[in-house]
Amino acid sequence: MRIVFMGTPEFAVPSLRALLDEGYNVVGVVTQPDRPKGRKRVLTPPPVKEEALKHGLPVLQPLKMRDPAAAEELALLEPDLVVTAAYGQILPKAVLELPRLGCINVHGSLLPKYRGGAPIQHAVMNGETVTGVTVMYMAAGLDTGDMISRVEVPIEEADTSGTMFDKLAVAGANLLLRTLPEIQAGTITAIPQNHEEATYSPNISRENELIRWDRGSRDIFNQVRGLNPWPVAYTLWNGEVFKIWSCRPGTVMRKPGAETVLPGTVLGLSDAGIEVATADGSVLLTEVQPAGKKAMDAGVFSRGSKLAPGTVLG
């Protein structure tokens, strides 16, 4: 069985590595083009490319997979099966119909929930306690194909999207290995998705990153951990971006009708962090990053900081 692997970020690396470790015949890898990275904008290959080159695999990096020339180049690899994991581009019909065993995708959610480009971040931001991975046949629609197999993974209170990426990447690789023998044998029974139950998780926007202090403490806590380690939630202090890397629900509880302060008001600073008012109480900021500085412990930041109780963030 000749396999072409298509993937781009760290999430996809365990799946590629698992295929190679188990002796599957990976005949080529398709990934996104190298991109400028960091302050110096150094052209950097995606993690999947780095892994592929370690194993001497041919790598294709078409700018657009919809370009007919890209499909023709892929066809030269004569794949029996295409395996994708967070590749980052929608595959055209010419590619979907190319391999005799089809194209399958390792998707980081329990479909049909959280279709789209940022399922893991949105699951954490929405306060889900369980998510998972689905291996599915790819179809023309966005994550609409029939499901082959899936596995649940709990989201713990301490998890961020970063820890969930790691957990789901490993779970996806293991699920892929359990699924492939049946695909190869032609004994798989795929299950259509219930499209009426579908939800969507678009790529993270700048609007998603801005903390609205008029939301509940739990919602803000979930937003912050859902955007850690990238792109990181933020508020504004003196008109500048003030990133919030981590927080937890605070000690203040607000009762309906009780005297309130404006959401976003700094209630206090201590070695434990910075307590900020929300719609229903407070959150304690525990790791922050002022503009132009590195991320730091909020308690350390509080010592000698010009941020004072009564300041309104946002």
Where is the binding site for (6S)-5,6,7,8-tetrahydrofolate, in residues? 109-112
Q: Is the peptide bond before 112 cis (omega within 30 degrees of 0)?
A: yes
Binding residues, as ranges, are 109-112
Q: How many of the other CB atoms lie within 10 Å of CB of 214?
A: 14
Triad 34, 39, 41: Cα angle to 5° = 25
Q: Is the peptide bond before 62 cis (omega within 30 degrees of 0)?
A: no
d(CA 283, CA 253): 10
Q: For residue 238, what are its two tokens?
A: 């003196």
Helix axes 13-21, 161-185, angle to 10 degrees: 40
